[in-house]
Structure 1
């Protein structure tokens, strides 16, 4: 019923509504292209597609009650423009997150925090989380397991991400870092929040609970691995493979209970607000800026060769001369966007790739990621120690016609310290910059 002196807001003109859809899609084109490439390059599992599909499904369910305000529409349009204008400067993941926030605001999905969280988790974040948080989480899990073992009367100590007990070192390797478990738990929390229509404060509480419970759950997972390795549990692989599922299920049970008790009411249908002309103008600029700046900022970065290529190289206690090699597609995968120097050589019947950097950088990728981008299937990495005391990370890579074994490590040229994983090297380089330069050594041989 319309009272005297008030008029109902006019609904969007269909043409203007569809126009904004196409304008937003155009502004998101660089993000969409990057998203598709990340799903296919092997650096992230395509788990984000499930989160994206669920977010869209729940948004469609609540479409009659999810309505933007004039302020949120304007803010969303400005965020989309900011994401487009930042194409040459911001990393793709940050631009994508800004764009997702803009879309959520523009269409009123910020009223359902769970849906917005699912949209954020749909981005390919696992590889980045593994790089930034993988080592700290592994170290935290190892420290927690050591304390639990002490309480049980077992003598144990921690060395980095390794647990020293019963005369052996048990490594909490990257696969056990808990990043995937954390992603799954957060995605489940976001889905529960959206499904039960939780309020903002309840959604924040649920997601905070999910993040906090993921830490002890991962400690329990690592503890089961230690027990299996030490012979306290049957060594049939069932505990290693099923521990993550068991721990995740326990956390999900607690989260389901909390979300069900906090269920929100079903909102009534809200009026459709018109799309103002100034919002359309902002989206027009975003639609033009995104693709155009993406084209202008695209450039191939070719790393300079090593300024003084080494004449010899030592591996497994053997020192032999190096012979420089011309670039191959594998080296091009390594060199894509690399900020330091790179050289490729033959060493006996093996190939050696040397990368050199002078500061902590996210772009010193593990060679496994680079090989995946070149079309290889890779196994999980393990740490092996050679007779000369050197420690290397080893994994296998294969594609039709090629089966390779790869060993790699990072060495400080200042003090000789070595790392078998990029993540702990990054944190060490960040806090100890005087230990530069660092050299990443990769040894490739046929299997």
Structure 2
């Protein structure tokens, strides 16, 4: 053995071969290192640095999403999407090339410039973080398209839509889509029950009953099924390697109504079982299985529709790039650097309101006994970070009516919210949330609440008020921020110590007194 090992090392034929192999390996590595175009690497790093600098304000918003507990579902979906991206990249053998030069391609460059200009406009005039983050994703994907082949870039579009879909659109969907969708569903269920001879069930009854037995935060129920379903459809499109062509949009146009029909069937069955037949416990047991079953059936149908086009061309060929349609790579790199620098200099966020001096003090009528009820430091900090210029909480007593109220003053809608969410966070179930008109120009929202399975119920009220307008609609409050000159608004949110009748004169006088106090505060 020793002799054989000695021979293997000193044999005149083997030793030179081993040395030649090592020499060739080192030589190839040296050549590979020398073939790296280091100036282009530097240009690419500069482009990336400037790009991140331009979109730096977005990262503070993304940090909030990844940190706050109320975005837990978004965080879980993001982890799943990133895991799917990593798996697909590993299967596709995607390897970055830091020294690759950008290549002029029309559509990616339009996304880079158009998305970035739109981002500047949104930051200056709209100030909606979700929209700005979506534009960042689209523009970044356009920038990536200057390095990717056209085929790979087009096939990766569902990934970008998936990442954008992870953003918390839920509040906006609930504001602009959720409530109208619930009203439409309840009206259709009422008409269906009327058609079969059940005439005693109204829309309000259906809404209240659905709130009582359903978990509106389930991804498979209500408006969230649209969000979750769209994410599923995009993921299936990517995994199945389907192009976003006309056929795909036809599948989408069929998919959305199917989700609505599934939700309609769920609500109809729950109302029929729980409200008409009186089997409330059975309805509570059925609402989760019904939501999941309907969602799974619709998603399975979407997958079958996507796969039904197997005979079509699925792999799109690379688009040829003629010499006249591409810029020299160094020129394109310098153009990108100059364009991003110009946009950095043009970036001007919408002026934020700053509190100068001490804010005005609240003055309440003598008939209303008010005591300060300070918030926790973390609660105040959370509201101030979102742009509130004043946050006050009080306990109050007026005759037989007592409770506590919070008054949030801000020139940005982000510091305001729909109080129903806060009530539900503290363990109160939402029984009803209905508009109530105190006077011709004073609408408010009257909310009926209750701890689960307990009585008596609680009552709550809220409205949004500026110097010239009062509304109970959170969507109207958001749209008010589109004005070139923002005005301060106050969210008045009241939680009573027990149930009240909003039609009582005592309640009406309380509303009018607080409305006048807010008017005086805003003068």
User: One fold, TM greater than 0.5?
Assistant: yes
Task: Give the structure-2-normalised TM-score.
Answer: 0.61
1:367 partnered with 2:419: yes
| Cα drift, residue 53 of structure 1 | 1.6
1:393-432 superposed matches below 5 A: 393-394=448-449, 408-410=460-462
User: Do the aligned residues in 2 keep the contact of 1:97 with 1:120 (CA within 8 Å)?
Assistant: yes
Q: Over alpha carbons, which structure has the higher Rg?
A: 2
| 1:98 corresponds to | 135
| 2:150 corresponds to | none
| 2:105 corresponds to | 70
Q: Distance in 1 between matches of 2:493 and 2:259?
A: 34
1:322 partnered with 2:370: yes
| Cα drift, residue 179 of structure 1 | 1.9
Tell me: CA distance 1:217–1:311, structure 2 relative to 1, closer, same or farther (3 Å).
farther
1:237-276 superposed matches below 5 A: 237-263=284-310, 265-267=314-316, 274=329, 276=332
Q: Distance in 1 between matches of 2:408 and 2:450?
A: 19
| Cα drift, residue 428 of structure 1 | 13
| Cα drift, residue 444 of structure 1 | 7.6
Q: Secondary structure at the match of 2:216?
A: helix
1:285 partnered with 2:347: no
User: Do the aligned residues in 2 keep the contact of 1:55 with 1:118 (CA within 8 Å)?
Assistant: no
Q: Distance in 1 between matches of 2:343 and 2:478?
A: 38
2:281 to 223, 235, 258: 235
User: Any idea what the Cα deviations from partners look like across 1:31-70, whole Å, max 9, x if unmatched?
Assistant: 12202203433443325514642673477356879x9852
Q: Distance in 2 between matches of 1:140 and 1:54?
A: 37
Tell me: CA distance 1:143–1:362, structure 2 relative to 1, closer, same or farther (3 Å).
farther
| Cα drift, residue 281 of structure 1 | 1.2
CA RMSD of aligned residues (A): 4.8
1:53 to 82, 86, 106: 82
| 1:383 corresponds to | 431
User: Any idea what the Cα deviations from partners look like across 1:199-222, whole Å, max 9, x if unmatched?
Assistant: 332332233322222211111121
Tell me: CA distance 1:84–1:253, structure 2 relative to 1, closer, same or farther (3 Å).
closer
Q: Distance in 2 between matches of 1:339 and 1:217?
A: 40
User: Do the aligned residues in 1 keep the contact of 2:81 with 2:163 (CA within 8 Å)?
Assistant: yes
Bigger share in strand: 1
| 2:222 corresponds to | 178
| 1:392 corresponds to | 447
Q: Distance in 1 between matches of 2:293 and 2:420?
A: 29
Task: Give the structure-1-normalised TM-score.
Answer: 0.69
Long gaps (5+) in structure 1: 1-9, 314-320, 397-404, 431-436
User: Any idea what the Cα deviations from partners look like across 1:231-269, whole Å, max 9, x if unmatched?
Assistant: 466725331222211110111111011111235523567
Q: How many residues align?
A: 396
User: Do the aligned residues in 2 keep the contact of 1:323 with 1:346 (CA within 8 Å)?
Assistant: yes
Q: Distance in 2 between matches of 1:91 and 1:428?
A: 11
Bigger share in helix: 2
| Cα drift, residue 362 of structure 1 | 7.0
1:195-214 superposed matches below 5 A: 195-201=239-245, 202-214=247-259
Q: Secondary structure at the match of 2:206?
A: strand
Q: Secondary structure at the match of 1:154?
A: coil
| Cα drift, residue 270 of structure 1 | 7.7
| 1:122 corresponds to | 166
Relative to structure 2, which stretch is displaced further, 268-277 or 92-101? Answer: 268-277
Q: Secondary structure at the match of 1:262?
A: coil
Long gaps (5+) in structure 2: 1-35, 96-101, 146-152, 434-444, 452-456, 482-488, 498-523
